[in-house]
Structure 1
Amino acid sequence: MTFPIGPVELTAGELLLRPPDERDAVEALAMVRDPDSMLWNPAASVVDVASARDWCKSLGDWSPGDHATFSVVDVGSGRLVGNVSLHKIDAEQLTAEMGYRVGAWARGRGVATAAVRAVTEWGFEELGLQRVQLFHAVGNVASCRVAVKCGYRDEGTLRSASVYGDGVRYDEHLHARLAGDGV
């Protein structure tokens, strides 16, 4: 069972969150080819501008109802600074997973925190989700800080849970927010 999700735009301070499209391709390619993104949040199929264009177009298609992916754009410069996604949306269980990445040029400015907060609240308020969870490698300390700042409670460690971009299997932290949790 899926949601009928129509594309929307959200704002979070000086950030515009909108569905990805082909105009994001060049900066999306730079973002996913950054060494930190390649390690912690790889997009192996994105190797050149053409594949980045296809990837952005695919992420911008919300019609399957199983994800809502947003490009995060700095309003002042118009530059793509990251992306955030509710994915594995389950309309029957009212659950989803959260994912995010920030371009190297925008890290340390609170981009992920603002975007994750905005999309989490949108998921609760507009989609009626009851639980949103996120996973990150234990070694990805920056991602852990974002989760905690956004009110995602630490629910434990999943041992040897996933293989990351370097081909190594890592333990992961599981964080989650419930619709009734405060931030």
Structure 2
Amino acid sequence: MTTPPSSPVRVEAPGIVLRAYRPDDVADLEAAFADEAIALWNPGAYGPDAVERFMSSRNDWSDADHASWAVADPTDRLVGSVSVYKVDRDQGDAEIGYWVAPWARRQGYAVRAVGAASRFAFGRLGLHRLYLFHAVENAGSCAVALAAGFRHEGTMRESYRYADGVHHDEHLHGLLASDLGPEADR
């Protein structure tokens, strides 16, 4: 496994760019974090200076435990977020998480971002496996996982307490580097 660089590497894929967060993303991040679905299913940035802390933590890869990006559309407007995190160097695996801003949903951004981040994780970081978890009720996230090539591997009962305070059942999806074949950019 390769150690990630200390800051975000720009990744381009058809119709999207994965890039560092920038000061001009603040208004879009504030609007995204105010969205009920993002607030329910994703830990976010709340409280004073929260957006700046969020951007700073996502742009700092120096601990080598995550690779995180702002997802931008072809005009370079922020449309979402994707992260490969909880990187386990011994096992060669990590989790992947994402969200899409309300103004960008149902346009394929999440599937493309998860695909690009997965190829980076397997190719540039040398990971072997990615895990993707989502609440069973989050049907959109399940559709993204399947469309990005992740296999549904099971349901974990009451495995995570989301922002509503309830422990929800979660689907576990997995993707192996070998599932992508030569597309893994090795």
For these two proteins, the number of residue pairs brought into alignment is 180
Which residue of the partner structure matches residue 65 of structure 2?
66
Shift of 1:2: 8.6
Cα offset for 1:36? 0.6
Residue 21 (structure 1) aligned with residue 22 (structure 2): yes
2:79 is equivalent to residue 81 of structure 1 = yes
CA-atom RMSD in angstroms = 1.7
Q: TM-score, normalised by structure 2?
A: 0.91
Q: Which ranges of 4 or more aligned residues in structure 1 deviate by more than 4 Å?
A: none
Note if contact 1:24-1:53 (Cα within 8 Å) is conserved in structure 2. no
Percent of matched pairs sharing the same residue: 44
Q: Summarize the alignment of residues 43-54 of structure 1 with structure 2, pairs less than 5 Å apart.
A: 43=44, 45-47=45-47, 50-54=49-53
- Hey, what does 1:3 align to over in structure 2? 3
Deviations 1:2-27 (A, max 9, x none): 92434210112121111223332221
Runs of 5+ consecutive residues of structure 1 not aligned to the other structure: none
Cα distance per residue 1:43-63 (max 9 Å; x no partner): 1x4245x32112111111111
CA distance in 2, matches of 1:83, 1:91: 23
CA drift of 1:170 comes to: 0.3
Kindly state the Cα deviation for residue 99 of structure 1 after the two structures are TM-superposed.
Answer: 0.2
TM-score by length of 1: 0.92
Matched, 1:165 2:168: no
Q: Aligned equivalents of 1:110 and 1:21: distance in 2?
A: 23
1:170-181 paired onto structure 2 within 5 Å: 170-181=168-179
**In 2, Cα distance between the equivalents of 1:143 and 1:27?**
21
Q: Residue type of the partner of 1:29?
A: E
Q: For residues 34-183 of structure 1, what are the structure 2 equivalents within 5 Å?
A: 34-43=35-44, 45-47=45-47, 50-76=49-75, 78-182=76-180
- Assess, with a 3 A threshold, how the Cα gap between structure 1 residues 25 and 69 changes in structure 2: closer, same or farther: same
